[in-house]
Chains A and B, each alone.
Chain A
Amino acid sequence: MILFHYIHKNSLLHRMDGRLKLLCLLLVSLSASFASVWWQYLLLMSLLIVSMVIARLPITDLINDLRYFAVVLVFVLLVNTFIACVDPTTSLTLKPVSMPSFHRGWHFAGRLVLVILACIVMTGTTSLTTMKNTFEWYLQPIPYIPKARIATMMSLSIVFVPLTLDCYTETSNAQKSRCVELQKNPVKRAILLTLPLVYRALQQTDEIVYAMQSRCYSESRTQAEFQTGKTDWLVLVTCVMSFLACLL
């Protein structure tokens, strides 16, 4: 499963300024929600596929992972086709299949696909640290927000994720090798797995905090530096233009 993982490459999009990339993500997602004609979908789709090629993301592997989302897409399609939410006061009603609602289903599914692809490009080409620095930068001008605290929380969760995943794999393997699968009650199994995980997680938090402290962590650190190249602006302009095209 490599969906939404950072995939280290040295491409134009990997080197791109995170702040502009986040803007591009926003623009593409907005464009997707405004798109209404087939060529607009096609435009956005090709834009995203081209960026995946440029970023040298492993497209076949990603598509393979996307099959889990296929279930969601079919669900969206079905819900939109068969159920109309006429107005919020009356409850959901089932209605006969009609051409317009079928179309609306397709639109929803199409938008979802576009947004998922945009997120894949974003997460695949942006390391979590860059992501964190970007958010931090956008938080700067907002008053009354404990930016440094939020940045610390983001750093901690970033550090924590791989450790917890490792721990999950270890614990579940350890329990499997002692035949936890014979335990048929899924709730019990979940509890058996969760308790040691939470315990280890708490222990590890202590250690991580010590590790950060012993390397002088404080909330005033060197600020991240961003470098904006000409091509970065070019990518942004491309996204703005496709956004305008989708407004038509």
Chain B
Amino acid sequence: MSDNSVPLLETQSLTHVFADKAVAIKNINLKVNRGDFIIIAGANGSGKTVFVRHLNGLLTPSKGKVLIDGVPIQKNIAVTRRRVGLIFQDSNTQIIGQTVAEDVAFGPLNLTLPVVEVKRIVQDALAAVGLTEHANRNPHTLSSGQKKRLAIAGVLAMRPDIIIFDEPFTGLDYPGVIQILQQLVDLHQAGYTIILITHELEKALAHANRLIVLDQGELVVEGSPAAVIHLVSEYGVRMPLEHVEKTSSLTWLR
């Protein structure tokens, strides 16, 4: 356990300018504490994906930095990638293995863990997402919801501290959304720190302790859901229709 005053993850004036001079994110300062459940909302193209891809060092900032336990992530990028798990929006491109089990094993094998241990880790991860019976299937034949859960298993197998979900509900049917949402809530309860990108606040806001809105690459809203919910509609995020004062009712669970 690290010192409480040092956030688990922190970005300092994070800025990313693409080669074509497009400023994707601008001066983002954010502190993520252990046990947080943060929702990042924002219109399409507001920079959500670009932002989270800095958090495990997939993208390198043009300006600013990312700290994990107070240490710049560039100091040890492999450790950061293990600790910060990222579930991509498109599950298809995240499938590396020929079978479900092999796909989950990809990460642990990269960490050069011994084969016996990898087997155990894979079994645990598959059990955690309820895919044990599909271990030998071709992952490309799974349903969208199952592919999403496979991606989660692949990340769990790395024993991360933080799990980031990039728009996980897109393209899922109603039971699929419920299942992934339940998984998210369970993971949070199991002690993982969660960052969830979604603009469908009505589905999950009740579970979050912080809401952040990005607009054209800038962090424009940050605070507890109840305090800032009335601000979101200005930035292209649909204001949930129900009684806004009760953000705790904003969930698709139960």
Contacts and interface: CB of A to CB of B under 8 A. Distances in A.
Interface in B71-107: 78, 81-82, 85-86, 88, 90, 92-99, 102, 106-107
B11 to A, nearest CB: 17
Given A129-B97, A218-B110, A166 B140 contact: yes
A1 to B, nearest CB: 15
Contacts of B78: 216, 218
Nearest to B87: A214
B46 interface: no
A215 B115 contact: no
Contact of A216 (B81, B90, B94, B118): B81
Given A8-B136, A215-B81, A216-B78, A221 B110 contact: yes
A195 to B, nearest CB: 20
Interface string A210-244: 11111111101110010000000000000000000
Interface stretch (A53-61, A71-79, A156-164, A186-194): A156-164
A207 B99 contact: no
Contacts of A166: 92, 140
A215 B110 contact: yes
B93 A211 contact: yes
Contacts of A211: 88, 93-94, 96
A135 B94 CA distance: 25
Interface in A5-26: 6, 8
A204 interface: yes
A171 interface: no
Interface string A150-184: 00000100110011001000000000000000000
Given A213-B58, A214-B58, A207 B93 contact: yes
B99 A213 contact: no
Contacts of A202: none
A116 interface: no
A132 to B, nearest CB: 10
Given A215-B158, A216-B107, A218-B110, A127 B98 contact: yes
B109 interface: yes
Contacts of A208: 93, 96
Contacts of B99: 8, 127
Contacts of A214: 56, 58, 81, 85-86
Interface string B212-249: 00000000000000000000000000000000000000
B93 A128 contact: no
Contacts of B110: 215-218, 221-222
Nearest to B115: A225
B114 interface: yes
Contacts of A215: 81, 96, 106-107, 110, 154-155, 158
Contacts of B53: 210
A209 B92 CA distance: 13
B148 to A, nearest CB: 14
A200 to B, nearest CB: 11
Contacts of B81: 213-216
B112 interface: yes
A188 B99 CA distance: 38
B93 A204 contact: yes
A220 B154 CA distance: 19
Closest 9 CB pairs of A and B: A207-B93, A215-B107, A216-B110, A222-B109, A211-B94, A214-B86, A216-B81, A162-B140, A222-B112
20 contacts: A129-B97, A129-B98, A159-B96, A166-B92, A207-B88, A207-B94, A208-B96, A210-B53, A210-B88, A211-B88, A211-B94, A215-B158, A216-B110, A216-B111, A217-B106, A218-B110, A221-B109, A222-B109, A222-B115, A225-B115
Interface of A: 6, 8, 127-129, 155, 158-159, 162-163, 166, 204, 207-208, 210-218, 220-222, 225
Given A127-B99, A159-B95, A215-B107, 12 more contacts: A8-B138, A127-B98, A129-B102, A166-B92, A204-B93, A211-B88, A215-B110, A217-B106, A218-B78, A218-B110, A222-B112, A222-B118
